[in-house]
Chain A
Amino acid sequence: MRALRRWWPLVGPSLLVIAVALGGQFLPLSTQLQVRSVLVTTVIVVALYVFVGNSGVISFGQVSFVAVGAFAAGLAAAPADVKPTTFPKLIPFLAELEIGNIESLVLAAAVGGLFAFIVGIPLMRLSGLSAGIATFAVLIITNNVLRNWEAIGPGAKTLSLIPQTTFFIQATTGLLIVMAVAYVYQTSRYGRRLRATREDAAAAQSSGIDVHRERLWAFTLSGVLGGFAGGLLVHQLGSITTQQVFLDLAFITLAMLVVGGIGSLWGAVVGALTIAGLNAFLAEAQRGITIGSFDLELPGGTRLLTLGVVMLVVVLFKPTGVTGSRELTWPFSRSRFPQPASPSEPLGSSPGEGAGRSEVEGVDPSATEQ
């Protein structure tokens, strides 16, 4: 029981994910497709959260790791007999390669992580908006290269005929793995050091924390998870273009994270499931659906308008997100109120980056041992 309680911030969200995935099984076939897409989007948001949520540094660049992962997995897994004809300029190694599903996911994660590590070495020295714009620049460059350098990318064409293997099991398992990694990281000493730099970079630095190194760790881990998410994505869609993993995805996933609550895993999961779920529901509703005896058919365009309104309203009036950037609290505690936040809360938070983001489950000794 105690163990369950300790791991509740991971177990709770996982149960929600499993419930959503299982619930999706009872929906019509076309809607199941949407459920899968919601799950994969959630993987991307959790990967984004691992860096942005823990470090407090805004990054538009994590989608470039999703993109790199997606094309690594897609190009490696697409059938070798058609690749040379559709992509004549592809380097022979890639053109002849044809690997299985698990291998391609591992490859995607590795490529994403490696790319993030290399990019992160110089970039993690930046903070604030400079970091935001620099990561944005990485995304632009990644897209530009994938789109135009046909030796390693698909160019402007659609990469298709990728085996569709991200079904219910793979999407759910993938998401659960990524969430577990994210949670173990954020409660590890590395994660806590990074969170200390988020709350007060100067104080953390004077306590002996190497801000650059901690950020680089998280950035690389986020790259691994992002690449993996890209692999899942490409195996879910079956075909993909460079524009599908570009600015729109970067902005929408960041918005999902902020809507849910930027500073907690629970926030990332809730934000992604809510917004991606709403998106999927409205997409279906535009095509016309029947709920009970009630026929609903929304005019085209309502989907994006509604999403915009919801995102704006949440961010304006609940800036810490719908979860308040807190982890899920144990529902059976004796007190009527959730556990008190960590003791430093009343002084620490406010004007800076960390408003209302303290750990809920108390202070881990490893956080202070630096």
Chain B
Amino acid sequence: MSFVQLLIDATALGALLALVAMGIALVFGVMRLVNFAYGELITIGAFTLVLTKGWPIVLRVLAAFVVVIASSLLMEVIFRPLRRATAATMLVATFALSFLLQNMFLFIFGPQGETIEFLAPLNRAIEIGDLRIRWITIIAIALGAVLLGFMSWLLGKTSVGLQMRAAAADFTTARILGVRAGRVIMLAFVLSGFLAAAVTLVLAVQRPLATPNYGFVVLVPALVGVVVGGLGKLVPATLGGFAIGFATVVLGDLLPSGSRVFLNSVLFAIVIIVLLVRPDGLFTGRTGVAERV
């Protein structure tokens, strides 16, 4: 595999995980809640596409967005009792929801899953020299760039964005200064649902089989990326998601083929080292309060 090809593939996975990471970080920012059930939003999106097979593409896309964002809002309602809970409780609660939803999908759709049949022709590749780039790869990168740009505009230039950043920095003070907590939290869930739906659409093309753990397998690396990047802040968390996706592809290529089965070990050993050296996150600058003891 040529170097450029490798970079493109790594960027594509990085962009996708960056979107997932941002969805996790948005909610964490305003609620201090690490949502393990976030992956299930992606799974819900995938099964929405399964159930709308045969509809016009526009309607399927629309349905996915509506259902996923609605589910995200529903999660907000479910998690309301947790606003003052401890970190451990929150973590286990979101995990319990994730567990419940996965088993619900298992119950309804069975372990084999269902084919999604969504825009499969986008998997065709265009060849430039010895490069083979699938359309969906280009779309993933473009979508990642557009959505990250949109989010940074929303958060940086608008009033609601300012409120969200204020809430993420210091929720109590933000409330005292007139930021409406309920609205900001709800908005965070809407935006993270929106990102989950976008991720679903890309994934649905790349991985056309919807299984009960469809979203969970994407969530885990993204979540690790979020913590490695720096959980408290949006940009570092997003970069962390990108980094983990990028590193997965690059490491997979660098490792000799005999030891490629140990990819996870190498990747997670790096994660541990990064956490030990920079417990506040890789991309947070030197401002954070070190959590080491």
Q: Which residues of A contact B (CB under 8 A)?
A: 52, 56, 58, 122-130, 132-134, 136-138, 140-141, 144-145, 148-149, 201, 205, 211-212, 215, 251-252, 254-255, 258, 262, 301, 304-305, 307-309, 311-312, 315-317, 319-320, 351-353, 355
Contact = CB atoms under 8 A, between A and B. Distances in A.
A301 B227 CA distance: 33
B276 A126 contact: yes
Contacts of A129: 34, 87, 227, 231
Nearest to A201: B293
Nearest to A313: B96
26 contacts: A124-B293, A126-B292, A127-B291, A128-B87, A129-B34, A130-B227, A130-B279, A134-B271, A136-B224, A137-B269, A144-B262, A144-B265, A144-B268, A251-B95, A254-B95, A258-B92, A307-B99, A308-B97, A308-B100, A312-B100, A315-B92, A315-B96, A317-B81, A319-B82, A319-B93, A353-B87
A318 B100 CA distance: 18
Interface string B81-108: 1101111110111011101110110110
B106 A301 contact: yes
A351 B88 CA distance: 13
B154 interface: no
B87 A58 contact: yes
A258 B88 contact: yes
Contacts of A124: 293
A312 B93 contact: yes
Nearest to A354: B86
Nearest to A52: B88
Contact of A308 (B85, B99, B275): B99
A311 B103 CA distance: 13
A309 B100 contact: yes
B261 interface: yes
Contacts of B93: 312, 315-316, 319
Contacts of B103: 301, 304-305, 308
Interface centre among B34, B95, B231 (most CB of A within 10 A): B95
Contacts of B291: 126-128, 130
A140 B268 contact: yes
B199 interface: no
A128 B279 CA distance: 10
Contacts of B119: none
B219 interface: no
Contacts of A52: 88
Contact of B96 (A212, A308, A317, A352): A308
Contacts of B95: 251, 254-255
B231 A251 contact: no
Interface in B260-293: 261-262, 264-265, 268-269, 271-272, 275-276, 279-280, 291-293
B228 interface: yes
Nearest to B271: A137
Contacts of A212: 293
Contacts of B99: 251-252, 255, 304, 307-308, 311
B89 A138 contact: no
A127 B96 contact: no
B100 A141 contact: no
Contacts of A138: 268, 272
B15 to A, nearest CB: 22
A311 B96 contact: yes
B125 interface: no
List 9 tightest A-B contacts by C-beta distance, closest first.
Answer: A308-B100, A137-B268, A304-B103, A311-B96, A301-B107, A211-B293, A312-B96, A258-B92, A315-B93
A254 B93 CA distance: 11
Given A56-B88, A137-B271, A305-B107, 9 more contacts: A123-B272, A126-B292, A148-B262, A212-B293, A255-B96, A258-B89, A301-B103, A301-B106, A311-B100
A370 to B, nearest CB: 16
Given A130-B227, A212-B293, A251-B95, A137 B89 contact: no
B96 A133 contact: no
A125 B291 CA distance: 8
Contact of A125 (B88, B89, B293): B293
Contacts of A126: 275-276, 279, 291-292
B264 A144 contact: yes
Nearest to A136: B224
A205 B106 CA distance: 48
Contacts of B162: none
Contacts of B262: 144-145, 148-149
A320 B104 CA distance: 26
A252 B99 CA distance: 9
A320 B106 CA distance: 30
